[in-house]
Amino acid sequence: MWFGIATSQSTVSNDQSQSADVYSDQQLNVDSNSDSTTAVTTSTGNSFVGSTVSGGLDVVSNQAMSGNTVASTSVSIAQTPGASFLSTTAATANSGDDVISSGWTLTGNVHQSSTGPTVDAEAVTDGANAFATDAATTVQAVANGQQYGATDSSVVANTTQSNTSTVEANGTGSFNYVSDSVVFSSTAAGNDLTATAAGNTNQNLGVTQTNNGALTQASMFTVFNSVQSSSTSAVATGNDVSASNTEGGLWVTDAQSNSSEVNATAVETASEFGTAQVTAEGVGNTAVAANIGPTTGVNNTQVNAGGVTSLANFTGGDGFDAAVSSSATGNAATGFSCSACGGVLNAWNSQSNSGGVSAQTQVTQTGSGRTTAGVATAAGNTATYYVATPR
């Protein structure tokens, strides 16, 4: 971790290599709590933060992880976790975060590589006989994750991410009765880059992502006897670029290649329910460049050769509203510029998909209900570029 306070250019050179396994495990057995229960389990191979609030910053960072990265959480609840329950499990091979808010420029040259056998996050929440008011379980596995943040400043950065690890985020959960809301979510990604901005910011980003692990998978399975509001979701992504900007210009040049099998599975069973939402989303490559500013430039190249599958399944008894959706996409790209800001959008798009794409939605309701909605969407390639007034 590095923080700079300067009146001119600061420089940071980071070189991290982790070859042994990184493993974290937590087992929590709870009979009854009056207030709350929280479980947080994280494993990270390499982590780096570079930040400045004054002057410019130049970052050169190299991160390599060749061991296993594993995080596991198991929570057993006999009666109640209290008014709130939160379980968070995250496994990340390489993590980078570079931030600037000085009004100057952040320049970056970042390389991340994950070659270990697995990046694995597992979470089990067992409250089959328990009562909860509000409950949430999140499980996340990411091989390479890089973030850029800018406030009233500029970012000029090149990022290269490469993954050959199997990436899995799997979770299961159950409660006898939830009086308010319960959210169970799993997220898995081979490579992820996120850039965000506030104020008058300019960003010029070059991104190369390669995901060749055997499997990139997110799954979540839940069972409730009686629940007021429930959400069960799984999102699996081979390569992801998400860049947002305000007031200034945004330019993104990305090249994404995925050959990993991508699978997202979300399954929920509720004997009695108020509202139930089940969502599964799988995508080989996705890139988003959204600018609430005058100029957006996108040069997008995506190649997907891996199969992409998604399954969303809901089985309910008596209830009110159930919404179940499943989407699977080989390549997806979106570019946006603000028309109210005098927006101009220039886009170059190339997408190639040779992997099978399958989306399935399954709904079984054995009792009475008010509304049932199911959506299944599969696409090989999809691209949307537009200029509009932001809402």
Name the burial class of residue 97, with classes exposed (0-12), middle (13-18) and buried (19+) by CB atoms within 10 angstroms of its CB.
middle
User: pLDDT (tens digit, 9 = 90+) per residue, 308-342?
Assistant: 999 999 999 999 999 999 999 999 999 999 888 88
Domain presence at residue 112: yes
Half-sphere exposure of 271 (CA within 13 A, CB side): 9
Domain span at residue 260 reads: 22-388
- Can you spell out the DSSP letters for 164-194? -SEEEEEEEEEEEEEEEEEEEEEEEEEEEEE
pLDDT tens digits, residue range 47-80?
999 999 999 999 999 999 999 999 999 999 999 9
Nearest one of 216, 213, 222, 188 to 312, comparing CA atoms: 222
β-strand 308-338 against 371-388: which pairing, if any? parallel
Measured distance CA(263)–CA(331) in Å, rounded:
14
Confidence at residue 313, expressed as pLDDT on a 0 to 100 scale: 98
pLDDT band at 6 (very low <50, low <70, confident <90, very high): very low
Instruction: Count the domains in the chain.
Output: 1
Q: Per-residue pLDDT tens for 201-234?
A: 999 999 999 999 999 999 999 999 999 999 999 9
Q: Are 95 and 145 in contact (CB under 8 A)?
A: yes
Q: Is residue 81 assigned to a domain?
A: yes
